Amino acid sequence: MSNDFSVLAKVEELADFFAAQAEEADALGRLPDATVATMKATGIAKILHPADLGGLEGSPVEFFQSLIAMGSQSTSAAWVAGVVGVHAFELAQADRRLQEEIWGASGEKADTWTASPYAPFGRAKTVEGGYIFSGRWPFSSGTDHCEWIILGGLITDADGAPIKGNPLRHFVLPRADYEIDQDSWNVAGLKGTGSKDIIINDAFIPEHRVINSADLGTFDLAKNAGRYDSPTYRMPFHQMFNGAIAGATLSAAVGALGAASAYMRSRVTVKGVSTSTDPRHLFVLAEAASDIDASVMQFLGGFEQMWDLALEGREIPLDLRARTRRDQVRAVHRSVGAVEELVKLAGGNALRGGSAINRFWRDVHMGAAHQANQEDSTYQTFGLSHMGLPLPPSARV
């Protein structure tokens, strides 16, 4: 593990750069090449990447702190960094042959990024040595800048029906085996993520490029890959993946708070009121700032607790995992409410094109709509765990 490399410090030093790139990302519908090159130079996507293959194999707390710092300037950049960073975390637990195909036998291709999504829209027919795989998936974030992809799919029987038991797998493919629909990304927020559709028609996937996603939740993959002794890979997958989504969404709220504060310092309303001294505006600012700060602290607090246990070589208990997911979701929605209050008082100019408040407001709502940030199933899982009752098979903890 690397103890002398501060990704967070690098990201913070580059705050002005990421802020300046954000509008261009929205206009392009993907991250500019310069943004990606600089993101790679910070090492943010290598924090969860294995050290023996060119990564930092470091702290998830720093990973999420860095995401929030980056996203407070460009949420699209943080969203992509979170996704590709968590993919490195998953792939570190995959078949060694696959890891070396992507990153090189000694990590000489460690800057290679892998896209997703995990939604099980693909169908895989078993053949000798692997599967024939087809499907179409929306929302492949950062996909233009990735050379590999992880896609969710179901193994089917000869009649095309999902096999009994657990048919869900993650299938990993190189760029030559799939198509990106460049005209498929037209959205209100997170425009710079370039989360375009992926199309596959009858691609062959060898067995070693297939991951049983159920094993991610049990730590069996980390153990089978010989990585469970590393505290990085003792962290639970569902908290890590969903945390990347929640953290990037939170970063938009932090960005909105910063943009609204900067705007208030110079704004005078149509009634001639200076918002920097107006009691009503300061009241809303104080509440919103407190709610957003509390959300970030609560979000990071779960990871700090889990990381302390991982460093000690201890297992992370189910109740902490359920509470961490609860707090991720609650933190996101509390912050969305705070942003709404800031926008209400910001005035019409704040919603013009090119306004940072406008961009962060759209981004935080787009992020909150992601499945990872939905309340019902997450709160149910926490409630059942809290009551000492068994969890349903669908629970992702």
- Give the confidence band of 304 by pLDDT, cuts at 50, 70, 90: very high
Q: Mean pLDDT throughout 234-261?
A: 97
Judging by DSSP bridges, how do beta strands 114-115 and 148-156 pair with one another?
parallel
- Amino acid identity of residue 77, one-letter, is A
Q: What angle do CA 234, 238, 240 make, to 5 degrees?
A: 65
Instruction: Please work out, in degrees rounded to the nearest 5, the angle formed at the alpha carbon of residue 11 by the alpha carbons of 246 and 23.
Output: 75
The CATH architecture assigned to 7-112 reads Orthogonal Bundle (1.10)
Structure confidence at residue 115 (pLDDT): 98
Closest to 247 (Cα-Cα) out of 235, 255, 236, 257: 255
- The DSSP code sequence of 195-234 is -EEEEEEEEEEEGGGEE-HHHHTTTHHHHHTT-TTSGGGG
Residue 4's pLDDT is 45
The pLDDT, as a whole number, for residue 296 is: 98
Distances (CA, A) of 151 to 93, 134, 200: 16, 10, 10
- Give the model's pLDDT for residue 1: 39
The pLDDT value given to residue 3? 42
- Structural contact between residues 79 and 25, judged by C-beta atoms closer than 8 angstroms: no
Looking up tokens 């979701």 gives 329
* Straight-line distance from the first to the last Cα atom of the chain, in angstroms, rounded to the nearest whole number: 26
- How many Å apart are CA 1 and CA 236, to the nearest integer? 18
What kind of architecture, by CATH, is found in domain 114-212? Answer: Beta Barrel (2.40)
Task: Report pTM.
Answer: 0.96
- Mean pLDDT over 302-331 rounds to 97
Radius of gyration of the chain (CA): 21
* Alpha carbons 29 and 190: distance in angstroms, whole number: 9
Q: How far is CA 333 from the centre of its chain?
A: 16
Model pLDDT for residues 141-174, shown as the tens digit of each residue: 999 999 999 999 999 998 899 999 899 999 999 9
What was the pLDDT predicted at 395?
86
3-state SS assignment for residue 162: strand
Distance CA 29, CA 24 (A): 8
Q: What is the pLDDT of residue 163?
A: 93
Q: Which of 170, 50, 177 is nearest to 104 (CA)?
A: 50
- What DSSP state is assigned to residue 109? T
Taking the domains of the chain in order of start, what are their residue ranges? 7-112, 114-212, 235-386
Task: Tell me the percentage of the chain whose pLDDT exceeds 90.
Answer: 90
136's tokens = 């179409």
How does pLDDT run across 352-397, given as a tens digit for each residue?
A: 888 999 999 999 999 999 999 999 999 999 999 999 999 988 888 8
Residue whose tokens read 């710079």: 192
Is CATH 1.20.140.10 the right assignment for the domain spanning 235-386?
A: yes
- Do the domains 114-212 and 235-386 sit in the same CATH topology, yes or no? no
In whole angstroms, give the CA distance from residue 330 to residue 299: 9
